[in-house]
Amino acid sequence: MYASLRIPHFVSSVRAEKEKEMPAPTVRLISSTMVHLRESSSSHAEGSRRRWELTAWDVAMLSTPYIQKGLLFPMPPGPLYAAIQHLKSSLSRCLLHFPFLAGRLATDLETTTFVDCSDQGVQFDVAAADGVHVSDLASAGEIPAVVNSFFPLADGTVIGFDGYSLPLLAVQVTELSDGVFVGCSFNHVMGDGESFWHFFKSWSEITSGSEIISRAPLTERPPIHHECGRIRFLVSEEHMARFSSPPLRVRFFRFSRNAIVCLKAKANRQLRPEVGDISSLQALTALMWRCITRARRLPVDQTTTCKMAIGNRTRLDPPLPAGYFGNCMEAIAVKAVVGELLAQELGWAARALHDRIKGHTNLSARKFVEEWVKRPSVYHGLFEGNGVMVGSSPRYEIYGIDFGWGSGVTVLSGAANKYDGKMSAYRGKGGIDLEVCLFPHFMSALESDGELLDMLSIV
């Protein structure tokens, strides 16, 4: 049995009581403008394209909330107004490489949804968070609700389908007392996490003085989509599902590099796969699946599900180029009976995830597209009441993003796509940072879970 009384839970409880006594900080919107593509030569290939085709993976995202991610930075040198104007100017130049992000969704009545690249603009908001300091967010495990207001289109019910009228990309620069937060709301129809951070890094490169970006977006549709036939799916609001996030606690659990090494070794030692090793993320996901299931005190005969968002770029045959821009991911699922999940060792759950991911091949990815073209639909119900889901990836080099002010302090996300059991994995500065969303009473129980705290205590 794992110990249930640990000092970290006591400390977090005291912090929570102090926060109740303090007035909640507010965010003031200072300005909201539209940024358009800077004038380019007629020879610019992407600038001349008027229509951007969507794939099955893209159209399926029409009912999915926008991606809302951003980075916290120390205060830029010099006048902040000048830094913000420079951000706006560099965004205009960056859009020459990503002109589809300044477009809007449109419908071809003979086929389906596409992107009209007529440069209707990217929303650019400037705001101020009175009384919020970098230290309030950089070192805190608990993520305060004010962070949700650091993003434009902050309503978590905004979905891909709204891109017919709303910007496909919206940016907000929020001034803190001693820092700046740069947040983006990115229509998920336009791309997955890989594409989101591709754009974000490209923007930072231009802002910091580069004349070119390190990786141009490749937007040619994969051969599989040409082979499977044209998409014929005329969508309407009837196809959509809007989800309003319930009251949740959101906090980071930061696992050191040594903790991840120990966790991975433990999972492989307990149940080594026949081919290949259990990965760090598979071992961490297995740990959190067990700990959250235990925190929920589910009946032993109930079924619980663990989902992971995995990419298809390297699984396709031939694999897609590294710069491919768009969606190319799916969510795989593993089910287990609660009693067995908790009775077995960590390696048992990690092996189940490993085998499911290993079994997702080129044939699996191709089958999804082939069947989707025959019976198109949008994603509904990616979350389950007794389950967990891990999104994002520690592969993304988010701390390599530099607008000329140095590396970001921490990554934060908005209100969109948050529900009980949702987790986002990021490459931390010393290991893996895991953002976890849970109902408050489940989070309180999780903070006292001995198996979790044993790993968090490894420095």
Could you tell me where the beta strands, DSSP code E, fall in 290-387?
Answer: 303-311, 329-337
* 163/418 Cα distance (integer angstroms): 20
Helix (H) or strand (E) holding 252: strand 249-256
Burial of 105 (0-12, 13-18, 19+ CB in 10 A): buried
The answer for residues whose C-beta is within 8 angstroms of residue 289's C-beta and 6 or more apart is 304, 306, 341, 349, 388
Catalytic residues: 188, 402
Other CB atoms within 10 A of residue 397 CB: 10
Residue type present at position 86: H
Structural tokens at position 371: 């069947």
Contacts 24+ apart (CB under 8 A), 204-210: 204/401, 204/402, 204/403, 206/90, 206/93, 206/94, 207/86, 207/87, 207/90, 207/403, 207/404, 208/402, 208/403, 208/404, 209/404
* 328/443 Cα distance (integer angstroms): 32
The answer for residues whose C-beta is within 8 angstroms of residue 374's C-beta and 6 or more apart is none
